[in-house]
């Protein structure tokens, strides 16, 4: 019979025994108790998506800034999902369903292929901010020619580069209207080309009527004022003023068919664009696939270049590859 000292030596420590007795319970409930902070962050990440329209513009135009980059809020989901896996937290995993579902309801349809090649169309139109500092406008012109559009709108053209584009596009596009830093080329006759005043000391918008085989269509080409993101917030007051002035003229347009193209320096989600977007359809939103980001060209993060229409129907829309500019061109096919 073992003596008392031997028995005591072979007995497991009380702490180890307690761990064995309670270990199963802790393992069962631990996955729900862990990751509370991650779960809270997951719920908080859904709030900007759900209530972005309630974020005011009174301080630094924060509402417009959030509107502009709203799809990127969804990046919180995979980042927090990795943290939840590391922590093995069931609570965080369930909480992440909230922002994932909200993001999916808002943007998920953009990721689903519509299975359509666009079908018949009457008109192909293209818009491109060609960049005043473009080092190779000849290359850009060649890329634009390859798109075989019927109407091309260009923005941010310097006087020197305008000569290049006129020379390179002349054979395919005999009809040209240029005003200030914007211009329009067309395979069809162009009438009543004129500058549109949007509050600048130089011209950054024009209106022209294109006589297509299906009838006349009013085209607007615009390059709205730039915005800045800095310590004072999202500076866009000058752009917003140009939006109001251009929006008033588009609203008063008498032609049934209207196409508005250009660099708006804002996304369709940006509430400040409402004076222009009200009554117009985004070609990308109606007939495109994906987010259609156009800027910056190397790694696009926002769609600030648009083709919007009224009285005509978009059948297909897409974004071209970079051309040497800091923006990517946007293209749409339309029926009149």
Residue 216 sits in a domain whose CATH number is 3.60.10.10
Looking at the structure, do residues 329 and 191 belong to the same domain, yes or no? yes
Looking at the structure, do residues 65 and 192 belong to the same domain, yes or no? no
Quick one: CA dihedral 141, 144, 150, 152, positive or negative? negative
Asked if residue 322 lies in contact with residue 108, where contact means CB atoms within 8 angstroms, the answer is: no
Final residue before a domain boundary, out of 85, 111, 137: 111
Residue 279 counted as domain residue: yes
Residue 85 counted as domain residue: yes
At residue 259, φ and ψ (nearest 5 deg) are -125, 125
| pLDDT recorded at residue 112 | 81
Residue 320 counted as domain residue: yes
Residue 118 counted as domain residue: no
Looking at the structure, do residues 263 and 331 belong to the same domain, yes or no? yes
Statement: residue 26 has pLDDT above 90: no
Entry pTM: 0.85
Looking at the structure, do residues 194 and 318 belong to the same domain, yes or no? yes
| pLDDT recorded at residue 4 | 57
- Rounded to whole angstroms, the Cα distance separating 77 from 42 reads 7
Q: Provide the b/e sequence for 167-187 (b: ≥16 CB within 10 Å).
A: ebbeeebebbbbbbbbbbbbb
Looking at the structure, do residues 75 and 187 belong to the same domain, yes or no? no
Q: Which domain holds residue 60?
A: 6-111
| pLDDT recorded at residue 152 | 98
Average pLDDT, the chain: 88
Final residue before a domain boundary, out of 63, 84, 111: 111
Asked if residue 67 lies in contact with residue 269, where contact means CB atoms within 8 angstroms, the answer is: yes
C-alpha 293 chain-centroid distance: 5
At 121 the three-state DSSP class reads: coil
Final residue before a domain boundary, out of 84, 111, 138: 111
Query: What is the arithmetic mean of pLDDT over 330-336?
Result: 96
Residue 324 counted as domain residue: yes
Looking at the structure, do residues 257 and 321 belong to the same domain, yes or no? yes
| pLDDT recorded at residue 187 | 98
Torsion of CA 67, 68, 73, 75, to 10 degrees: 160
- Rounded to whole angstroms, the Cα distance separating 315 from 217 reads 17
Looking at the structure, do residues 128 and 275 belong to the same domain, yes or no? yes
For residues 194 and 241, which has the higher predicted lDDT (pLDDT)? 194
Residue 147 counted as domain residue: yes
Cα-based distances in Å from 77 to 54, 70, 121: 22, 13, 40
Residue 230 counted as domain residue: yes
Which tokens is 227 given? 């915005």
**Prior bond to 123 cis, omega within 30?**
no
Nearest to 268 by CA among 297, 241, 248, 243: 243
Looking at the structure, do residues 72 and 215 belong to the same domain, yes or no? no
Looking at the structure, do residues 98 and 136 belong to the same domain, yes or no? no
DSSP string, 28-67: HHHHHHTTHHHHHHHHHHHHHHHSGGGS-STTTTHHHHHH
- Rounded to whole angstroms, the Cα distance separating 196 from 183 reads 12
Looking at the structure, do residues 156 and 36 belong to the same domain, yes or no? no
Distance, first Cα to last Cα, the chain: 103
pLDDT tens figures, 140-186: 999 999 999 999 999 999 999 999 999 999 999 999 999 999 999 99
pLDDT tens figures, 244-301: 889 999 999 999 999 999 999 889 888 888 999 999 999 999 999 999 999 999 999 9
Looking at the structure, do residues 79 and 165 belong to the same domain, yes or no? no
Number of domains in the chain: 2
Looking at the structure, do residues 254 and 197 belong to the same domain, yes or no? yes
| pLDDT recorded at residue 68 | 86
Contacts of 123 (CB under 8 A, 6+ apart): 150, 151, 212, 214, 217, 312, 333, 334, 335, 336
Residue 328 counted as domain residue: yes
């Amino acid at each position: 019979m073992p003596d008392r000292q031997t028995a005591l030596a072979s007995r497991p420590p009380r702490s180890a025994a307690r761990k064995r007795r309670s270990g199963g319970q802790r393992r069962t409930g631990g996955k729900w108790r862990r990751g509370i902070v991650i779960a809270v962050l997951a719920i908080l990440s859904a709030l900007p998506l759900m209530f972005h329209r309630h974020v005011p513009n009174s301080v630094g135009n924060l509402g417009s800034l959030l509107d502009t980059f709203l799809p990127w809020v969804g990046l919180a989901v995979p980042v927090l999902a990795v943290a939840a896996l590391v922590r093995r937290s069931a609570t965080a995993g369930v909480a992440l369903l909230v922002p994932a579902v909200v993001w999916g309801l808002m943007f998920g349809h953009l990721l689903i292929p519509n299975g359509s090649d666009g079908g018949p169309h009457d008109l192909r139109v293209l818009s491109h901010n060609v960049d005043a500092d473009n080092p190779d406008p000849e290359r850009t012109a060649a890329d634009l020619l390859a798109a075989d559009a019927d109407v091309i709108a260009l923005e941010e053209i310097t006087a020197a580069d305008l000569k290049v584009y006129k020379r390179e596009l002349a054979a395919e596009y005999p009809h040209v209207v240029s005003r200030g830093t914007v211009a329009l080329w067309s395979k069809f006759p162009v009438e009543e080309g004129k500058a549109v005043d949007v509050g600048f000391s130089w011209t950054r918008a024009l209106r022209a009527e294109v006589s297509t085989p299906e009838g006349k269509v009013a085209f607007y080409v615009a390059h709205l004022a730039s915005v800045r993101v800095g310590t004072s917030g999202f500076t866009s007051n000058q752009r917003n003023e140009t939006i109001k002035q251009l929006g008033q003229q588009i609203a008063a347009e008498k032609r049934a068919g209207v196409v508005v193209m250009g660099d708006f320096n804002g996304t369709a989600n940006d509430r400040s664009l409402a004076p222009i977007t009200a009554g117009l359809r985004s070609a990308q939103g109606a007939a495109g696939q994906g987010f259609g980001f156009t800027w910056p060209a190397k790694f696009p993060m926002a769609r600030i270049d648009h083709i919007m229409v009224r009285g005509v129907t978009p059948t297909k829309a897409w974004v071209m590859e970079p051309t040497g500019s800091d923006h990517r061109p946007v293209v749409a096919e339309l029926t009149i």
